[in-house]
Structure formats: structure tokens, C-alpha cells
Structure 1
Amino acid sequence: MPSAPTNLVYVVDDDQAVLHSTRFLLESEGHRVETFAGGPELLAAFPGPSPACVLLDHVMTGMGGLEVLGRLRAFDASVPVVLITGHPDPGIRKRASAASAPLVEKPFTLEALLELLAADETGNGLSIRA
């Protein structure tokens, strides 16, 4: 049975400023937000409440975003994940695409983030507008 829609968003980034600002933006729009300073912290939250989306930094100290994504899929293959990066290159775009995870470049706008979440809530999957 599908779980009920949720407005819970997990944000994973080793940059405290990004965590703080993303939390502020999303909460100001009515979303519940849980933040994690790295992959191990996120993975410790599973299984648990199923978020509407996980915003996952690609470049982090220790465990990188794609490794976290692979481990996350073992816990919950259906949770939508968006990779975020301040270091876009063709290689990461290709790997993110192969992992079925949209890639968003930092800094991202509130509008782009809200469009992502709205697309997910309609069941149409995540979509990113450039």
C-alpha cells in the first residue's frame, strides 16, 4: 500500500550554511525539514519516516553523495533523491542520470526547489527546469 503523501524533506550537506539556508527556505513554505551533516547520519535515519524527497550533496567529506545514494536504495528504493552539487561536470551528470537522480547545481533558487517538490507531490516524478 503506498504511503500517505508527506511534506517531510531530508537535506544532506556537510556545509552548515547550506543546511541552514535550505531548511529556512523550505520551512518558510510549509515543509517539514530534517537536516543531516553527512551520509552516515542520513543512513542512520532509515528505516523511519519516509520523506517526500532527499536533497543529497554530491561532494561531502567521507562518503560522497553517489555512495550514499547506493546505500540508501538498499533501505528504500522508492524515496526520490536529488543530487545537489557546486561542482558540476559531465561525469557527475552521467553518473547521476545512471542512478536515476536529477542533478541540481548550487546555488539553487527557492523556485527551482519548490518546483521539484511540487512535481514529486503530484506523482509525476521529480522535474528540474534549467
Structure 2
Amino acid sequence: MPSHPPTLIFVVDDDPAVLHSTRFLLESEGHQVETFPGGRELLAAFPGPSPALVLLDHVMPGLDGLEVFAQLRNLDAVVPVVLITGHPDPGIRTRARRAGLSVVEKPLAFDALLSMLGADGAARPAHQG
């Protein structure tokens, strides 16, 4: 049983199985989850409800995660973003770190992800790698 207030989390991934499993995990922890199949769909949600965290896939058709993150900043969307990648290239980690992003590798380490949210549901991204 969750011990924190519900937190709105946006999950962006072009893989429906990742969207489904991540939604299931986060909702089972008491969070509200909105999923998006790509970066353009996420960007269309701003301005709007302000999520506590955006989980953003790196490799997607069209805009990649780093491009989506740059466009979020251009929209003045101030929200913690965690980049998710199944391609643990050191160059991606370096570019993400320079942009101010935390990186989590697929398959997702859900314990680490949940610890980023903290006991009170507030996002606390921590740089990895």
C-alpha cells in the first residue's frame, strides 16, 4: 500500500510493452500515469498538468529523447526528466549529463526508479554513470 500522495508521472516510449509495464508498476505504487508513444505527443501536452517527473526514452522515431528534452526547455517546461536508454553508449551518458539529465538503462531498474520518487512522491532524479 503506497504511503505517499499520488504523483503525476509522464512516460514516453515508442515500445507499447514498456509503456504498459511502467504504467502498471507506477500505478501499483499509487501514482497517476500518463503515457505517450513519442516525443511530439509529449510536447503537445505542454502547457498542461505539470507532472512530477517525465520518463523519456532516448531512441524513438522522429525526435530522440535529448531533442525532446531540449524542446521542453524551449517551452520553459520545468520538470525533472529521466532519460531511459537501451543503448548504454558512453556518449549518450555524457550528452545527457551535460544537459542535466539522469540516465536509467533498460530494462528499467524499478527499485532505482521508485527511489528517485522518494517516500513523499517528490521526484529526486540522481545522476547515474
Fold-level similarity (TM above 0.5) = yes
Equivalent AA in structure 1 for residue 102 of structure 2: P
1:58 corresponds in structure 2 to 58
1:9 corresponds in structure 2 to 9
When the two chains are superposed, the root-mean-square deviation of aligned CA atoms in Å is 2.1
Change (3 A) 1:20 1:65: same
Count of residues paired in the alignment? 125
Runs (4 or more) in structure 1 with deviation over 6 Å come to none
Q: TM-score, normalised by structure 2?
A: 0.89
- Whether the 8 Å CA contact 1:55–1:81 is kept in 2: the answer is yes
Question: CA offsets, 1:3-22, max 9 Å, x none?
Answer: xx860000000000000000
What runs of 5+ residues in structure 2 fail to find an aligned partner? none
Change (3 A) 1:58 1:116: same
Identity over aligned pairs, percent: 67
- Whether the 8 Å CA contact 2:58–2:83 is kept in 1: the answer is yes
- Whether the 8 Å CA contact 1:51–1:79 is kept in 2: the answer is yes
2:84 corresponds in structure 1 to 84
Q: TM-score, normalised by structure 1?
A: 0.88
Deviation of 1:128 after TM superposition, in Å, equals: 5.4
Equivalent AA in structure 2 for residue 19 of structure 1: L
